[in-house]
Structure 1
């Protein structure tokens, strides 16, 4: 039991997390009380196949049928030495177009890798750079029937005074933020690329020491009506 648990964590949980469901045959390892109890505790559903119904969902059925055809062709062509060609069979399968994912598995993995590399590009600033500071609405405050419609995501820009460690920076804050600690994690910052004349004035925001604010409309600036085929929608421009 201990060996099975360690093997499951090392080979499955480490790479794929806790699974929603597992499709397996009736091997004694998968029918044991220990295995079923462990998966039940993890919240994983066990789908056991049978000789009369070897697949329990269409995707698995199609994949298994494809693999059976490939392995059958491999055995016919290479006979007894077919196991030596299994790496090439795997390469061929992963390099072939799959209708369900609209790409080859190799191509899909490459796309995911490039996307992850772009998303995980390390963010770094220099002293005297100007950055925007992330703020959030106070919990429980909802205006205009839609959460966050008028929320400013960032305020600033503020000048970086110094770098603290590897992932934090000290900013030059105005007096309106005197109650806020001036050192912030890099995840709360982004580089200022816009015209500084377009940023939200600090005097129009009331922030607490955790950079939470309460959004309140100041005035109605304009009214209009959007005409649809069977209805009219009043529109209000609010500052």
Structure 2
């Protein structure tokens, strides 16, 4: 893991206790994200006395960052166990998804056009995974 990127993500993440990112609290303005993450690493590693102002000189707005503190420990549950169904594979290790049945029908009406759609349950898929398809293709 690249420590510079972790430091950058932490310093520019919103902190509930202070109501802003720690960079914003320290420098009085938001940090602008660099155009490329590699640029951040190369600028940071130029010298050890680089300030955070120099590292945050890009023109992009701040992007959402997933913070490690948001992670929770996984609690095992028997309902989470997946039991895959067997699928017949072709010689090239591929298979064709075939429609099993039509669950519903509807017409999508555009300004001067009507498009008939059907909800298709696919072979080897649950009902919740059904998709809307053009009626002419099923």
- Give the TM-score taking structure 2 as reference length: 0.28
Higher relative contact order (CA 8 A, sep 6+): 2
Quick check: which has more Rg, 1 or 2? 1
Report which of the two has the higher share of helix: 1
- Give the TM-score taking structure 1 as reference length: 0.18
